[in-house]
Structure 1
Amino acid sequence: MLRHLVLSAAAVLAASAVGPAMAADPPGAPWQSPLLQDHPLVGTFVEASTGVTLSAEEALSRAADARYLILGERHDNPDHHDLQAWATEQVVERSRRPAIVYEMFEADEQDEIDAFLAGAPADAAGLGEAVNWAESGWPAWEHYRPMADTAVAHGLPILAGNLARDTIRDIARQGLDSLPDDQVNRLGLLEADEPAILAGMTRDVDEGHCNLMPEDAIAPMVTVQRARDARMAATMAQGLEADGTDQAILITGNGHARTDRGVPLRLRQMDVAPEDILVIAPMEVREGMTTVADYAEAWGGESFNAPFDILYFTPRLDMVDHCEELRARMEKKKAE
């Protein structure tokens, strides 16, 4: 599986306590991403289904009302992590007690996470080291620390949302037969997805790997994607069962946050009511794309319907075509 490229380090968002009557300003200028900062959509929340602009307070009110709050990201964009940190702190300031679930933590790291939290740390600075984050392939821990800092400060659970790497490898090689029957049932994977969903996931996997994967490798990776999304959904539900929690927040990439075939779909298959789920997706602006409908089309939606609930537009981190870079490296390797 191709790793996401790691291009920058993020600064920790300084959280300020505010009352529920007025939202603190969301993160914004000075932006850390340098490109298209003057784009007309930058810094705005927009309802994906209608294209209507929302105030920060309206977006936060919906976030605080959700039992399952999914905060997306482009993994290496520091402005997206600032938004996640701000939203997490703000819903806690509105008297919610969420479990914080990370896509980036794997199931077999939960013991290390629990041991770290049992030590009553002052903050989450040492959590990255506790799970050997530097070797994980994810962007710097400082991107992801602020949400964990909020959890530590308020005594909230931190949960590993992803499958263990060995489990992912086994699913890629052997399919769902590699999992115990009770786990397949618990993850809601007994029934096949509808053809349209599988077709969309197939496109996602192929395009996400720059159309360079062997054709016979795509279907196994779709199965892995289904299992990963189902595991994250199940972990969110687990977080809501913890003592003293009343919400689950998932930190994940925008691809997993899609309402049509990502974690929200798996939650609905677990009989979670759609109105209990909210997805806020930070979205990098693009040149010449100044309407929400443009972004819906880019994500395969219709009309205003990008497959998220609320979009938050940020500048771009870069204009690099990572697939072109990958093709060039592969061609160079072949020539050597």
Structure 2
Amino acid sequence: MNPPPTASPNMRRAIALLMPLLLLVACARVPAPRLFPHAPNEITARTDALLPADVILLGEQHDAAEHQHIHRQVIEYLAVRGLLGAVVLEMAEAGTSTAALKSNSTQLQVEAALAWNHKGWPWLDYGPAVMAAVKAGVPVLGGNLPAADMRSVMADSKLDAQLPGPALKAQQQLIRLGHCDLLPESQISPMTRIQIARDISIARTISQAVLPGKTVVLLAGSGHVNRVLGVPQHLSPGTKVKAVQLHAGPVQTAPDTRQAIENQAAFDAVWPTPAVPGQDYCKDLQEKFRARQP
């Protein structure tokens, strides 16, 4: 299951605790990330630095408005260059698509085609990037696991074998701490299977959209983009993938810091953006859990 929209203090501590596990499964051939100072007019240069690529994975922090602005800029730039093959979304379920729509389709038509979940994903945040692709004549595809499949996925123990052992343990720990240690231990494996199944669903959608000479762009949370734990684990080894973490706040660049080690293992590039106001999501989650108690 996805973590809360922005990393809680517990989540940040979890990442630090998981460093040994991440390093065990990190591929030595993954290049060190390129750190860029934030500036909106550098998006084209940042994007050029990722090319050529079959797939560019943009991993956002869901409550960072600047990240959604970057989505639109990357999509518009690749479209203008004639390189954009498709846009895949975590924010819409697999099987939904704008492929049958015309480039002058209305916002309402696009929302209907994607069966947009307004409660989970504010259209005002993601609509501009989606509409930029539609207006360019580029299909936008839902990639997320359909809600109807959740129950069966939770019981599917075969999904446990879809990640290397250390990565599976790391993913389980992220689920545990991402829910502020409030989940019963019996729910950790089922919830981890949902996360893995979501990554597999997104990867399958991407693979079906890849075309020679074009680039597919994924818009998703940074956990899905993580090379060690997420979507890249389920793509064909021959796929040219570039994973980008959009990071709200300062990024440590010293080569011996834990942050730098994590980024080297998980992402090809880190694009820092201004920090967003902090929010105690664990407090909010605790209140929701208490409200469910009999």
TM bucket (normalised to shorter chain) is 0.7 to 0.9
Contact 2:58–2:220 (CA under 8 A) maintained in structure 1: yes
Structure 1 unmatched ranges of 5 or more: 7-46, 178-188
- Of 258, 262, 278, the residue aligned with 1:297 is 258
Q: Partners in 1 of 2:117 and 2:145 — Cα distance?
A: 19
Structure 2 unmatched ranges of 5 or more: 7-29
- Asked which structure has the greater RCO (Cα within 8 Å, sep 6+), the reply is 2
- CA-CA distance at 1:125 after TM superposition: 1.6
Contact 1:279–1:308 (CA under 8 A) maintained in structure 2: yes
Superposition RMSD in Å? 3.1
Q: Partners in 2 of 1:3 and 1:53 — Cα distance?
A: 26
* Match status 1:193 vs 2:176: no
Q: Partners in 2 of 1:229 and 1:305 — Cα distance?
A: 20
- CA-CA distance at 1:219 after TM superposition: 0.8
- CA-CA distance at 1:331 after TM superposition: 4.0
- What is the CA deviation profile of residues 210-262 of structure 1, one whole-angstrom value per residue up to 9, with x for unaligned ones? 22111011111212211111111111110115xx8722111100010111111
1:134/1:56 Cα in 2 relative to 1: closer, same or farther (>3 Å)? closer
2:238 corresponding residue in structure 1: 272
Q: Partners in 2 of 1:281 and 1:168 — Cα distance?
A: 27
| Secondary structure, aligned partner of 1:149 | helix
1:313 corresponding residue in structure 2: 272
Contact 2:56–2:242 (CA under 8 A) maintained in structure 1: yes
- CA-CA distance at 1:205 after TM superposition: 1.1
| Secondary structure, aligned partner of 2:261 | coil
- CA-CA distance at 1:102 after TM superposition: 0.6
One-letter code of the match for 2:204? Answer: A
* Match status 1:65 vs 2:31: no
- CA-CA distance at 1:207 after TM superposition: 1.8
Q: Partners in 1 of 2:82 and 2:190 — Cα distance?
A: 42
1:17 corresponding residue in structure 2: none
1:64/1:311 Cα in 2 relative to 1: closer, same or farther (>3 Å)? same
Identity across the alignment (%) = 26
What's the TM-score once normalised by structure 1's chain length? 0.69
> Where in structure 2 are the equivalents of 1:175-324 lying within 5 Å?
175=156, 191-241=161-211, 246-267=214-235, 270-273=236-239, 276-285=240-249, 291-293=252-254, 297=258, 302=261, 305=264, 307-324=266-283
1:158 corresponding residue in structure 2: 140
Q: Partners in 2 of 1:231 and 1:97 — Cα distance?
A: 21
2:17 corresponding residue in structure 1: none
Q: Partners in 2 of 1:310 and 1:2 — Cα distance?
A: 22
Number of residue-to-residue matches in the alignment: 266
Q: Partners in 2 of 1:295 and 1:285 — Cα distance?
A: 19
What's the TM-score once normalised by structure 2's chain length? 0.78
1:155/1:277 Cα in 2 relative to 1: closer, same or farther (>3 Å)? same
Contact 1:64–1:96 (CA under 8 A) maintained in structure 2: no
Contact 1:3–1:137 (CA under 8 A) maintained in structure 2: no
Contact 2:5–2:61 (CA under 8 A) maintained in structure 1: no
